[in-house]
A and B are shown apart, each in its own frame.
Chain A
Amino acid sequence: MQTAFQKQPGHAETRISIIILAVLVVVAGWVYLRQYHTNPAVVALRPESQIFASSADITPAAVVDTTGSDLIPFSPPEHFGPDTLYEKINGRADLYLSSGYISLNAQRFTLQSAAGNWIEVFAYDMGTPENAFSVYSMQRRDAATSDRSLPDAYRTENALFMVHGQFYLELIGTNADDMLNEAMGTLARRFAESHAGASKAKAPGQDLFPTQDLDTTTRQLITANAFGYEMLDHIYTAQYLIDGTRLTVFVSDRQTPEAASALADNFSQTLITFGATAVDIKPPVANASVLQFFDTYEIIFSHGPYVAGVHEAVDLNHAKIMAKRLAEHLKQ
């Protein structure tokens, strides 16, 4: 009777087995990752995707109550959620969706005395005042004038843009008609009054910057990838004009001193990795990094829960002045 023997694998078999197992692991890993990149046509052809939602849900309430004014609705109110926002603003939807967007109510109004022209009101609910301010500030037009009759608003030839609490508003007129522009102000004020009152609306981040030499129209909240760096999120920026030189200043509340200090260090080290060099001077602010990055200067520091600094300044002396002012302001 022959006895079965457990065959011991040879060296070649072992090596081949390891190679095969390694290939299988790579294949499995590829399949796992590929699952996150489904062909969009596959998604679209799923049964649940074939039910085309109506392009807009009709809400019974007008976006703005125009009772008693010369304004009348020109189209029914439209409502768009995250899944349908693209049906209204197409490629620009991404900006809002990545900034905490909740919903959009839109409606057109016309003047009884000026048929043929209309104003379209876009009222974006961004969830928080910070989110609303972010999309407001990041889309600010260059050729804009502040509207003093509203807490945080600016106008262009044919449009009014406003932030009110968690809402970002765009009021777009068909042309630069004076009557339309006046009507936009009416619509904006009525919206503010009907949403927690205009006096309570205050743009977030307003108190973070010293007011001397501040260009108030340049305040901006960048929610992600500020200055092109992934680590910089929720960064408020503003521009100052000192002796004819424009400077960009940034501040961010990181909640704890430890987080602020860590971010300041991280940002400094990142710039150094990319080629920035330390400037051999006494820092204008305690523990600040003063770096030269090509032909501009960067000053980075933390104070309490805030990380702050001056970004891409062309003049070091102006940057130092601004950094000192900013640090003093944050101490208050």
Chain B
Amino acid sequence: MSNPSAPSPINRREFIGRCTRAGIYVAAAGSIGIGFHQADAPRPQMDAATSMLQLPDYSVPAMPGKICIAHGADRATTVRQAFEALGGMKALVRPGERVLIKVNAAFASPPTLGATSHPELVAAVVRLCLEAGADRVIVTDNPINDPASCFALTGIRAAAQKSGADVIIPRDTLFEPMTVDGGRLIRNWPVMVGPLDGVDRVIGMAPVKDHHRSGASMTLKNWYGLLGGRRNIFHQDVHTLIQELALMIRPTAVVLDGTQTMMKNGPTGGSLSDLNPTGTMIVSTDPVAADAAGAALLGRTIADLPFIGKAEQTGAGTADYRSLQFKEIQTG
């Protein structure tokens, strides 16, 4: 009598059939995996000498957390007095040092439209650096439009050279692939590090502008101009990108020009009616603080600009700018 609970016997044919079916399933699963494989994907190039390039920390250790908000209509006056309130440029730049000023020369626009660093401001900051004893001052940016046109039509080139600075126009040989430690986007990406060679201090300079993607373009976003390649793809995740820019570089100071604020239609603007004469110059050793203060000029809050909070998380600074050594002055 057969036991109804005993397993039914399997013959050789069934065994081979089951093995064959199992093999087909395994092959199919493996094929799907191979289908996702991209043969022409870039190979990891984790060469420690180039890929994990670490930019020096350009901040002055003895000068943490200072910010000055200067009110006035004349850029040369407000920026000079703002630096004086922080202890003077001589507290940031030592005699014999080399200084790089990273301007915003993104577009071949006239200075009247507020889309780029104003040449009067560039000249003023160059002069301040040279007065403090800087051995050399470099002005540079990797613009969106044709570089030569941008530096010419914005007036930045003429102003920088007239005040004693060297202007470096980007070219391919100035870029090296770089990976930001802890970054997800800036990995093996061309970065314009050439002008930074031998530089002791870095000052970022940007106008306060509305930006269609990020909400605002100020000092934190200004470092976008060190990136090469088809960087427009980063607009898909622009707040994270700005966060990684804050990880990438620690400047000596930043100058945020809110003399005329581009309230709408940024970052290019175009109409004078896009501008608001907010008459404010913000100078700080903390770019997060500078941008937090600048947000108000656009009528925005820190919550409206997620990149500020993200940059703060990296330790690049604090959005609570009033917690720093804070000064607010009215210039004549």
Are these two chains actual partners, yes or no? yes
A residues within 8 Å of B by Cβ?
3-8, 28, 31, 35, 39-47, 49, 52, 55-56, 75, 86-95, 118, 139, 141-144, 156-159, 170, 172, 174-176
Asked if B30 lies at the interface with its beta carbon under 8 angstroms from chain A, I say: no
Q: How far is the CB of A115 from chain B (nearest CB, A)?
A: 14
Measured CA separation A67–B139 after assembly (Å): 40
* Chain A residues within an 8 Å CB radius of B36: 31, 35
Given A91-B267, A172-B113, residue A157 in contact with residue B273 (CB < 8 A): yes
Q: Is the CB of A5 within 8 A of B10?
A: yes
* Chain A residues within an 8 Å CB radius of B232: 86-87, 90, 93
> Which of A90, A143, A174, A176 is close to B268, meaning CB atoms less than 8 Å apart?
A90
Task: Please list 28 pairs of residues, one from A and one from B, whose beta carbons are closer than 8 Å in the complex, sorted by A's number.
Answer: A4-B11, A5-B10, A39-B184, A40-B185, A40-B233, A40-B237, A41-B185, A41-B188, A44-B229, A46-B42, A55-B146, A75-B149, A86-B144, A90-B106, A91-B212, A91-B217, A92-B266, A92-B268, A93-B232, A95-B212, A156-B271, A157-B273, A159-B270, A159-B271, A174-B110, A174-B112, A174-B113, A175-B110
Asked if B326 lies at the interface with its beta carbon under 8 angstroms from chain A, I say: no
Q: Which of B1-9, B130-138, B193-201 contacts A (4 or more CB under 8 A)?
A: B1-9
* Chain A residues within an 8 Å CB radius of B14: 6
Q: Is the CB of A91 within 8 A of B10?
A: no
Q: Is the CB of B233 within 8 A of A43?
A: yes
> Which of A5, A56, A95, A118 is close to B9, meaning CB atoms less than 8 Å apart?
A5
Closest 4 CB pairs between A and B? A45-B42, A40-B233, A86-B232, A5-B7
Measured CA separation A31–B37 after assembly (Å): 12
> Which of A5, A139, A175 is close to B112, meaning CB atoms less than 8 Å apart?
A175
Given A39-B185, A40-B236, A93-B232, residue A5 in contact with residue B6 (CB < 8 A): yes
The SS class assigned to the B binding surface is loop
**Closest residue of chain B to A32, judged by CB?**
B36
Given A89-B268, A159-B271, A175-B112, residue A6 in contact with residue B229 (CB < 8 A): no
Q: Is the CB of B230 within 8 A of A49?
A: yes
Scan residues 1-38 of chain B and give those whose CB is less than 8 A from a CB of chain A: 6-11, 14-15, 32, 36
> Which of A8, A28, A42, A55 is close to B145, meaning CB atoms less than 8 Å apart?
A55
Q: Is the CB of B272 within 8 A of A44?
A: no
Q: What 1/0 mask marks residues of chain B from 286 to 298 whose CB sits below 8 Å from any chain A CB?
A: 0000000000000
Q: How many A-B residue pairs have CB under 8 A?
A: 119
Q: How far is the CB of A180 from chain B (nearest CB, A)?
A: 11
Measured CA separation A239–B236 after assembly (Å): 34
* Chain B residues within an 8 Å CB radius of A40: 185, 233-234, 236-237
> Which of B145, B233, B272 is close to A176, meaning CB atoms less than 8 Å apart?
B272
Scan residues 179-194 of chain B and give those whose CB is less than 8 A from a CB of chain A: 184-189
Asked if B214 lies at the interface with its beta carbon under 8 angstroms from chain A, I say: yes
Given A4-B15, A87-B144, residue A47 in contact with residue B10 (CB < 8 A): no
**Closest residue of chain B to A45, judged by CB?**
B42
Q: Is the CB of B42 within 8 A of A139?
A: no
Scan residues 151-168 of chain B and give those whose CB is less than 8 A from a CB of chain A: none
Q: Is the CB of B145 within 8 A of A7?
A: no
Given A44-B229, A139-B265, A141-B274, residue A91 in contact with residue B211 (CB < 8 A): yes
> Which of A7, A94, A141 is close to B212, meaning CB atoms less than 8 Å apart?
A94
Q: Is the CB of B145 within 8 A of A143?
A: no
Measured CA separation A202–B273 after assembly (Å): 26
Asked if B62 lies at the interface with its beta carbon under 8 angstroms from chain A, I say: no
**Closest residue of chain A to B146, judged by CB?**
A55
Asked if B213 lies at the interface with its beta carbon under 8 angstroms from chain A, I say: yes
Measured CA separation A236–B8 after assembly (Å): 74
Q: Is the CB of A44 within 8 A of B212?
A: no
Q: Is the CB of A157 within 8 A of B272?
A: yes
Measured CA separation A3–B265 after assembly (Å): 82
Q: Is the CB of A94 within 8 A of B272?
A: no
Q: How far is the CB of B293 from chain A (nearest CB, A)?
A: 22
Measured CA separation A90–B268 after assembly (Å): 8
* Chain B residues within an 8 Å CB radius of A45: 42, 188
Measured CA separation A86–B238 after assembly (Å): 14
Q: How far is the CB of A187 from chain B (nearest CB, A)?
A: 15
> Which of A86, A90, A158, A174 is close to B271, meaning CB atoms less than 8 Å apart?
A158
Q: Is the CB of B236 within 8 A of A158?
A: no
* Chain A residues within an 8 Å CB radius of B41: 42, 46
Highest count of chain B CB atoms <10 Å: which of A6, A28, A31, A118: A6
Q: Is the CB of A87 within 8 A of B145?
A: yes
* Chain B residues within an 8 Å CB radius of A31: 36
> Which of B10, B188, B233, B267 is close to A90, meaning CB atoms less than 8 Å apart?
B267
Given A6-B10, A174-B110, residue A94 in contact with residue B213 (CB < 8 A): yes
* Chain A residues within an 8 Å CB radius of B300: none
Measured CA separation A147–B92 after assembly (Å): 52
Q: How far is the CB of B308 from chain A (nearest CB, A)?
A: 17
Given contacts A5-B6, A7-B7, A41-B189, could you give 19 more A-B pairs where the C-beta distance is less than 8 Å?
A6-B7, A6-B9, A39-B184, A40-B234, A40-B236, A40-B237, A43-B233, A45-B42, A86-B235, A87-B232, A90-B268, A139-B265, A141-B265, A158-B271, A159-B270, A159-B271, A170-B270, A172-B270, A175-B112
Q: Is the CB of A92 within 8 A of B212?
A: yes
Q: Is the CB of B273 within 8 A of A141?
A: yes
Q: Is the CB of A157 within 8 A of B271?
A: yes
* Chain B residues within an 8 Å CB radius of A94: 212-213, 235
* Chain A residues within an 8 Å CB radius of B265: 92, 139, 141
Measured CA separation A28–B42 after assembly (Å): 24
Q: Is the CB of A41 within 8 A of B187?
A: yes
Measured CA separation A142–B9 after assembly (Å): 86
* Chain A residues within an 8 Å CB radius of B145: 55, 87-88
Q: Is the CB of A4 within 8 A of B10?
A: yes
> Which of B6, B42, B189, B214 is close to A91, meaning CB atoms less than 8 Å apart?
B214
* Chain B residues within an 8 Å CB radius of A56: 146
Measured CA separation A46–B230 after assembly (Å): 11
**Closest residue of chain B to A35, judged by CB?**
B36
